[in-house]
Amino acid sequence: MINAAVVGLGWWGKRLSGFVADSPHLRFVLGVEPDAKAVEGFADSCGFPITADYSQALEDDTVDAVILATPHSLHESQIAAAVAAGKHVFCEKPLALDRESAERSVARCREAGLVLGIGHERRFEPPMAEVLQLARDGDLGTILQIESNFSHDRFVNLDKSNWRLSASEAPAGGMTATGIHIFDLATAMLGAADSVKVICEQLASPIATGDTTTAMVRYRSGAIVVVTSLLATPFISRFAIFGSKGWIEIRDKAHLESPEGWIVTKCFAEGKQEVSEVPAFNAARANLEAFAKAVAGESNYPISTDEMIANTAVMEAIFRSAATGREVAVG
């Protein structure tokens, strides 16, 4: 059993604590949240003490790891502090807002022999895990294109001061909230990206960073990945991958915080479409437990740090293209 401190008890930090409440691999023994109003009503029922001081978690010898569900710009400094204290780190995505920052965090954890996990739970969804394996085994043939729309309207009514709407914390509309997950999947299958072109508009909400964003990324393999992230429409998550030997489409029935399962359509070379349903599965919990098993030395964490850096590079290019409207190189 790995003891962890969850840092940041906003919407997602609270959800994470509920996901692992009965986990045999990971338990939260401390929470860190500087905003007392954010934990009103939660502190009495969460089952662990809450402090406003991050250093308390770092100085606690019973804490093996920290789970960071904090604003993106804080990640590097919080990771550096955790490494200095000898704590393993699980960081919500994005790991950083630019490649160099991600490289520094990865290097710190690697040099200290500490596990670094990342909040890309979509890899752990059963239909996505199957797609990854089929792609790696060559069963889809040459990957030609990936298309995805991962959108919701959960941020429309947030207070304008919320960091999730900040141009410095979350540029390019919903890309740091949703689109980044799809590019993580693409990175796992296609490797490094070459160039990015983004259109980002504010059409139907007060979200100044954009509520309608589409990114087209060309990978070095030649494959194209097109991802749309809307912040002013009801939830939809559609992922489709097209290969020379077949294609697969995955549709979520509900948001991953309360999963209800997936509808999967497959079509291979013979041209016959097959539709199936996959039951609900808590992928966010599976990700945290994979991290805990890696900390315990039971298995390797399945998302490599090279992939974390490569995906951060894609996102940095997306931010630059969204700001300029031009195609930019991924570097």
- Contacts of residue 203, defined as CB under 8 A and 6 or more positions apart, other chains included, come to 211, 212, 232
pLDDT for position 331: 82
Residues 38 and 131 in one domain: no
Integer Cα distance of 16 and 10 in angstroms: 10
Q: What is the pLDDT of residue 257?
A: 83
70 and 210 assigned to the same domain:
no
Q: Which of 120, 152, 172 is the last residue of a domain?
A: 120
> Per-residue DSSP letters for 233-277?
S--EEEEEEEETTEEEEEEESS-TTS---EEEEEEETT--EEEEE
Same domain, 136 and 223: yes
Who contacts 72 (Cβ-Cβ below 8 Å, separation ≥6)? 94, 96, 97, 169, 170, 176
The reply to whether 254 and 297 lie within a common domain is: yes
CA atoms within 13 A on the CB side of 298: 9
- Residue 325 neighbours by CB distance under 10 Å: 10
56, 89, 120 - which closes a domain: 120
What is residue 108's predicted lDDT score, i.e. its pLDDT?
98
Angle between helical axes of 283-295 and 11-19 (0-180°, round to 10): 70
Spatial neighbors of 149 by CB under 8 A, at least 6 apart, are 227, 228, 229, 230, 236, 237, 238
| pLDDT tens for the chain, residues 1 to 331 | 999 999 999 989 999 999 999 999 999 999 999 999 989 989 989 999 999 999 999 999 999 999 999 999 999 999 999 999 999 999 999 999 999 999 999 999 999 999 999 999 999 999 999 999 999 999 999 999 999 999 999 999 888 888 888 989 999 999 999 999 999 999 999 999 999 999 999 999 999 999 999 999 999 999 999 999 999 999 999 999 999 999 999 999 998 888 999 999 999 988 899 999 999 999 999 999 999 999 999 999 999 999 999 999 999 999 999 999 999 999 8
Same domain, 129 and 115: no
204 plus 97 within the same structural domain = no
CB-based contact 33:52 (threshold 8 Å): yes
Query: How many angstroms separate the CA atoms of 216 and 199, rounded?
Result: 9
Q: What is the pLDDT of residue 107?
A: 98
Among 19, 26, 35, smallest CA distance to 1 is for 26
Q: Are strands 224-230 and 328-329 parallel, antiparallel or unpaired?
A: unpaired
- Is residue 87 domain-shared with residue 162, that is, in the same domain? no
What radius of gyration, in Å, describes the C-alpha atoms of the chain? Answer: 19
In the structure encoding, which two tokens stand for residue 284, read together? Answer: 């966010």
Q: Which CATH number do you get for residue 90?
A: 3.40.50.720
CATH code of the domain covering residue 321: 3.30.360.10
What is the distance between the alpha carbons of residues 13 and 2, in angstroms, rounded to a whole number? 17
Contact 254, 247 (CB under 8 A): no
**Residue 253 sits in the same domain as residue 230:** yes
CA 109, CA 304: separation in Å to the nearest integer?
Answer: 12
Helices (H), 158-226: 180-190
Edge to edge, the sheet with strand 328-329 lists 273-278, 262-268, 246-252, 236-243, 143-151, 224-230, 212-219, 193-201, 328-329
Of 120, 153, 187, the one marking the end of a domain is 120
Q: Which residues span the domain enclosing 116?
A: 2-120
Strands (E), the chain: 2-7, 26-32, 50-51, 65-68, 88-91, 116-118, 143-151, 193-201, 212-219, 224-230, 236-243, 246-252, 262-268, 273-278, 328-329
Q: Do residues 138 and 67 share a domain?
A: no
Task: Supply the pLDDT for residue 160.
Answer: 83
Same domain for 190 and 212, yes or no, is yes
Q: How many domains does the chain have?
A: 2
Does the pTM exceed 0.85?
yes
| Whether residue 272 sits in one domain with residue 138 | yes
> What one-letter code names the amino acid at 8?
G
What count of other Cβ atoms lies within 10 Å of the Cβ of residue 270? 6
Question: Please, what's the b/e burial string for 36-63 (b: 16 or more CB within 10 A of its CB; e: otherwise)?
Answer: eebbeeeeeebeeebeeebeebbebeeb
Instruction: Judge whether 67 and 28 are in contact, CB under 8 Å.
Output: yes
Q: Please check whether residues 14 and 43 belong to one and the same domain.
A: yes
